[in-house]
Structures are given as C-alpha cells and as structure tokens.
Structure 1
Amino acid sequence: MTAAGDFEIFLVANPGLEGPLCAEARAKGFKAKSIPGGVTVKGGWPEVWRANLEIRGASRVLARIDTFRTQHLAQLDRRARHVPWGNVLRRDVPFRVDVACKSSKIYHSGAAAQRIERAITEELGAPMSAEAEICIKARIENDVCTVAVDTSGELLHKRGHKQAVAKAPMRETMASLFLRQCGFDGIEPVVDPMCGSGTFVIEAAEIAAGLQPGRARHFAFEQLATFDAAAWERMRACAVATTPSVRFYGSDLDAGAVRMSRANAERAGVTGFTTFEERAVEDLVRPDGPPGIVIINPPYGDRIGDKGRLRALYRALGHTLLTRFSGWRVGLITNEAQLAQATGLPFSLTAAPVSHGGLWVTLFRTGPLP
C-alpha cells in the first residue's frame, strides 16, 4: 500500500467475463484494467466499500496489501512478519489464510499458509480460526507473493434477497454481465421465458430502478481495522432509487419456479414492476409497449434432459420469438452451438465462452428480429 493510501483492488470475475466486468467498473467511475481472472482498479478503502456496494458483476473484491519475492518457507516467514497487518486487521477479530502456489519454489500451499498464520498471530495477536469470515488470500506465483484480504466475505452474487433457487441457477453476478453484453440500458423491457428463480428479471429490474446490489447484505470489510461505520452509512444513503418506465417479465412452465420468482422479487423490492406467470414457451406473448431484450438460460445438453428433446424445445423457442417478437433482440446462453442453431434465430454476435457450473457456456446474441 502506498503512503497516500491508494492500493490495488482486484475485482474477481468468472473466467470469460473479465471484459464486461471491466466495462461495468469503468461505467461506475473506476479506472479499471482487465487481466486474466478479473479487473484491477486503484483506490483506497472507500473505493473498496463502493465496489462491494455498487458493482454487480464481481464475485469478490480483494484489497492487495503487500507484494514481495520469496523462494523458501523461512524467507516467507520472515517477510510475512513485515506486512503491516495492524493497519488492516483487528486484534479481536479471527482470521484465516488461503494460499495458492504456482510456478514457484514454494509449492506446498498448506505449509505456506501455516507460516503466514503464525506471522499474524505472533506479530498482531489476532486469533486464527478455520471458520473466520476474514480471509487473507496469498498467491505465490513465479516466486512472488501477493497478499490480499477478501473484503466481501460471502460471494457477491448473494445479494441478500434470493432465498429460493431453481435447478441449475444462474448467479446474479453472471446474469448482470450477460445483460450488459446484450446492451441492456435500463430503459427497455426484458423478457425471460424460462425464468427459473427470476434472476435475469430481478437483476434487470434492479438496474432499471437504480438499486445497489449490495444494499441488503453484510460485508467482511465491516470487521476490518480500516472500517468507518459513519462513512459507510453515508455512502449507502447516497443511492437514489427510481421507478422504471417499463416492466420486466418472467415466465416458466414450472409453477414452483414462478412462486419462487415472485417471492424473490418481493424481497428485492421490485414487485411493482415485474410480472411472473406460469406459461409454456409456445404460449409466450409479446408484452405491450416498446421492444426490448429476450434473454434465456435454457437447459443444456450436459446438464438437464436429452439432446433430442432439447432440440425440439430450442426449435419451439425460436419459432415463438421469430413469429411474435419482431424488433426485439435475443440473448441465449448455452453450451452447444448446435442447440443455439436449432432455434433458427439469426445469431450474429457471439461472446467469449464463460465458465458456469463446471461447463463452458456462450452467450449468443441477435440484432433486432425481423
């Protein structure tokens, strides 16, 4: 960390979504740079708090507090004792350490974690606990150790309002970035005809209403020595929510999924401008009003259902959209190009593959449908 208080902040991204996350961070006023695994920005602790509160696409926010070369465990032990732990950690708050080693002379992550744990307990006096919310993350790569503190705690897709989830759920962080890639601007309607637990619809409604993604949850940084509760409350109070000019629509053949979506939308505070209905894809109707975006995360071949039945489902989806949704744009997420092609939709834009639930999925996009 520099004398001025600025340091490197790392926003963790799902592999394949670094670019959209960088675009979001820049749109929020951060000077951001995309690198493999995420996005780096410079700032102080208020920027850390704001990133956790406002950025929708990051999985975690890490504050990098030191970097040094180390080639053996004794050297790591000595150097770890010079990290300014007392500037960040509290003596009365438990911590844990997570170490990853790559292409380095130090290759035993467990032994490296023990050295850092011992350095913190002996130099600062803070207790170590395997269950601690505060996690020190050290990465030793090419004999360089980067030490960071996870300021988020629970993964950031846990917004605090989704208690019920459907099969194979899409995380909110990913959904927000897929919406961004589809060009969603908050002033056009969104339809999800396979809404599951309502993630895409709720994310779109929150974006349109100006609701901060972290407004309803706790963060690990609230347990750090750097936390200023009064400044944090002022930051949270600055957000101004508005009522969107359009509605957001979800439907699903599963009545239980529709109930889940409605309950999640109510907890999120977006019931007033979302609609969820039990409906088959073949019965989907275009909402009144201007065209917008249809975004779908249908079943995948390697996850739910057999290929033949899935192709029929994708064909029915494509036929419905082509015949009833002229002027609308479509975003479809799937792990197989052949399934996307089965829709017959004129996909012209293909995003980079994204890691999701052990699979690599791709967002296929159209321009306005004829």
Structure 2
Amino acid sequence: MTKDKDFEIFLATVPGLESVLCAEVRLKGFRQPVAVPGGVVIRGGWPEVWRANLWVRGTSRVLARIASFAVVHLSQLDKRAHKVPWQAILRPDVAFRVEASCAASRVYHAGAAAERVSKAITQTLGATPADDAPVVIKVRIEQNICTISVDTSGDLLHRRGYKQAINRAPLRETMAALFLRQCGYNGQEPVLDPMCGSGTFVIEAAEIAARLNPGRARHFAFEHLATFDAQAWQAMRAVKSQRTPDFHFYGSDRDAGAIIMSTANAERAGVQDYVSFQQATVSALRPPAGPAGLVIANPPYGTRIGDKESLIPLYRALGQTLLTHFSGWRVGIVTTEAKLAHVTGLPFLPPEAPVPHGGLRVSLYQTAPLP
C-alpha cells in the first residue's frame, strides 16, 4: 500500500447519518466520498488520513484500509496476514493491539482471527502486542472477505480536547456537528441552545463559524505509525484558517452548574469571545438582538416510566416561548419521543429517521423559519 499511495479510507459515523457526513466530507474537499453503511469511504494517501482526523467534524474514527483478501479458514488467514507489508506501516518499537469481528463467514471465531493476525505482526515486524497499545489493528471478516485496517484516530474523535466538564448523557460533539449540518447551519447565522448542558451545540457552532479545526488540540494514533512525517504534519497543522465569526452564539440553562461548565469548556476551546451563557428558564427565553438564526436543543427525554409525562410541561413551555417570541428563527429539537416533540406545538417538517445515541434512538425534529 505504500507503493500505491492511493488507498481506501473509512470515516465512521452513527448509522443513519452517513449522508450528512458525506456532504461534510465533500465540502471539505476530499475526493469522491461515498456514503456506505456506518460511514463514508474516500480514497487518498496518508496526508488525507491526517487531514480527515484534523478537519472532519462528523466522523468518530478514521480507518486506513491496508489489506483485503478472501479467507475461508484460519491457516489461510495466517498465511495472508504474514504477507501484509507491516514494516511499511507499523513501527517495531510501538506496541499494537488487534481487534477482530466475524460475520457470515467460514472463519467465525473472532478471538482466533485476532490471535493469528497478532502473531503475524510479531513474527514479521517484531512489535509487541499489548492491551493498552496506542495502535489498534481492526480485522473484519464478512462474507469470507477479510479487511484489515489501522485505526488512525486513537481516542474517538468527539474528544476534541477541550471538554473536561460534562453533564449526564451528553451529546457527542461529532453528532452535534452533524445535527447542526442537518438543520442547514453553515456558520453564517446565530445559534441559540436553551438547554445547553455542557455547551456542546453552542461551542460546535462557534467553532464552525470561526473555522477552527476540530482536531487542533489533540493527538492521534497515526503519530505512532511508520508512515508518520512529523514535519509534514506540523506544516499541515500550522495552516491558519481561523476567522472572527460575523455572529454570536448563545446558551442558557436553568442549572447554574451547566453555565459554569459551558463557560469553562468554551474558554478551553478558545471561542469564549463569540459565545454567551446565562442561567435562565425556558419560559424566560428571548431572542438576542440581530438577525434570526437557529434554535437547537437536546432536551431531557425521560428514559424511565413516568418521566415522559413529567416532561410535557417543559416541552410545551419551550414551544410556546419559541412560537411567541422567535418569529423567523428555525428550530431543531433532538428527542427520543415523537409525543414530546409534538407537545411543543411547533410546525415540524417530516422528521429524520431515528439514529442511535447512548443506548436510545433519537430523531431530529426541525422547522422552517417560524411565522
């Protein structure tokens, strides 16, 4: 794969949001992105791998696909794994870990498959396997085709590096970025979150408007690979695209602790000059001065029996406040419950298909500009 510098790169996302991620990847200038189940495939070389980790907001992980071959028994896997040019990709002084999955294949024992690939790496390269290794090799055997990839991200990419304080069941930054995109947000309007929690929607919106790279404050697994060029990477990171946004971004929450959290997270992200957080109830919400924009919220869902009924007044108050005071603003609400969404009385467009989030399935309900 090092001779052929053009290989397949897989950008993972939440099932159901593949087309939204594909639109972002295309906008960021990557060649021929294709939405596939669970993510987006592009082609490129190692610079594209680095750029995807640094630039793309909606992906949770970037995998470099380094080998693919048919396999119907473990001895065949063993033989073909030994032929992968590990020395061109991995470093002998860096520990690795192999994770395998099998589906609808003659090779069905994931543990045995992982063991064979791990042994092949050790025997051909001399690297040591370890449970806490910084480099993870992903082996997927499906329909008797084995695909071997390197996880180039390491920690999941929603860990931007600034959010030390979080509330219960926070929305991941990657998902928040995709929901903002689904609402048509492109950085050219104000955004307000009336139940801001730890500030995820507000900070993501401010970063998009300020053209800040989501991966600017963290490290990646690809820095441990033989293919890594520290000088080229520093040059890539040094390109400054930042600008001062034309708009401001607002968060409110009835919980004082959430405001403290959001403010601290915004400061760590470097967007404190573009955001404002204040303690306020939903009923006290009023639009800021200036043009209309987007109100987006991830309200409580009520996962226990009885909770949903107790949330009806909150959703109703949110809808009444927005309908009364936010003429011209669009609204996006993320929730598990169609009933709670419709209690708002807001004129929702047909909802997007539900997507998994924290063991639940959530849908984005959004409106056109309110009358």
Note whether the superposition's TM-score is higher than 0.5: yes
Q: Return the alpha-carbon distance in structure 2 between the equivalents of residues 269 and 71 of structure 1.
A: 52
Structure-1 residue corresponding to 2:39:
38
Q: Return the alpha-carbon distance in structure 2 between the equivalents of residues 303 and 173 of structure 1.
A: 26
Alpha-carbon offset, residue 303 of structure 1: 5.8
SS of alignment partner, residue 349 of structure 2: strand
Structure-1 residue corresponding to 2:119:
118
1:42/1:304 Cα in 2 relative to 1: closer, same or farther (>3 Å)? farther
Do structure 1's residue 20 and structure 2's residue 14 form an aligned pair?
no
- TM-score, with normalisation over the residues of structure 2? 0.98
Alpha-carbon offset, residue 351 of structure 1: 1.5
Alpha-carbon offset, residue 15 of structure 1: 1.2
How many residue pairs align between the two structures? Answer: 370
Structure-1 residue corresponding to 2:234:
233
Q: Return the alpha-carbon distance in structure 2 between the equivalents of residues 148 and 310 of structure 1.
A: 44
Alpha-carbon offset, residue 305 of structure 1: 7.1
Alpha-carbon offset, residue 4 of structure 1: 3.1
Alpha-carbon offset, residue 240 of structure 1: 2.0
Query: Hey, which bits of structure 1, 4+ residues long, moved more than 2 A?
Result: 1-4
Aligned positions of 1:152-191 closer than 5 A: 152-191=153-192
Alpha-carbon offset, residue 309 of structure 1: 1.5
Structure-2 residue corresponding to 1:220:
221
SS of alignment partner, residue 350 of structure 1: coil
Q: Return the alpha-carbon distance in structure 1 between the equivalents of residues 306 and 120 of structure 2.
A: 52
Contact map agreement 1:353 1:362 (CA 8 A) in 2: yes
Aligned positions of 1:181-220 closer than 5 A: 181-220=182-221
Alpha-carbon offset, residue 199 of structure 1: 0.2
Contact map agreement 2:2 2:88 (CA 8 A) in 1: no
Letter in 2 for 1:25: V
Structure-1 residue corresponding to 2:313:
312
Contact map agreement 1:212 1:239 (CA 8 A) in 2: no
Q: Return the alpha-carbon distance in structure 2 between the equivalents of residues 17 and 74 of structure 1.
A: 38
Alpha-carbon offset, residue 238 of structure 1: 1.1
Q: Return the alpha-carbon distance in structure 1 between the equivalents of residues 120 and 204 of structure 2.
A: 42
Deviation string 1:257-302 (CA, Å, 9 cap, x unpaired) is 1100000000000000100001110111110000000001001132
Contact map agreement 1:99 1:139 (CA 8 A) in 2: yes
The unaligned stretches of length 5 or more in structure 1 are none
Letter in 2 for 1:175: A
Structure-2 residue corresponding to 1:339:
340
SS of alignment partner, residue 319 of structure 2: helix
Letter in 2 for 1:115: R
Question: What is the aligned-residue RMSD (CA, Å)?
Answer: 1.0
SS of alignment partner, residue 136 of structure 1: strand
- TM-score, with normalisation over the residues of structure 1? 0.99
Aligned positions of 1:1-370 closer than 5 A: 1=1, 3-30=3-30, 31-302=32-303, 306-370=307-371
Letter in 2 for 1:226: T
% of aligned pairs identical?
Answer: 64
Q: Return the alpha-carbon distance in structure 2 between the equivalents of residues 252 and 32 of structure 1.
A: 38
Q: Which moved more, 1:199-208 or 1:309-318?
A: 309-318
1:303/1:56 Cα in 2 relative to 1: closer, same or farther (>3 Å)? farther
Contact map agreement 1:349 1:366 (CA 8 A) in 2: no
Q: Return the alpha-carbon distance in structure 1 between the equivalents of residues 90 and 198 of structure 2.
A: 38
SS of alignment partner, residue 361 of structure 2: strand
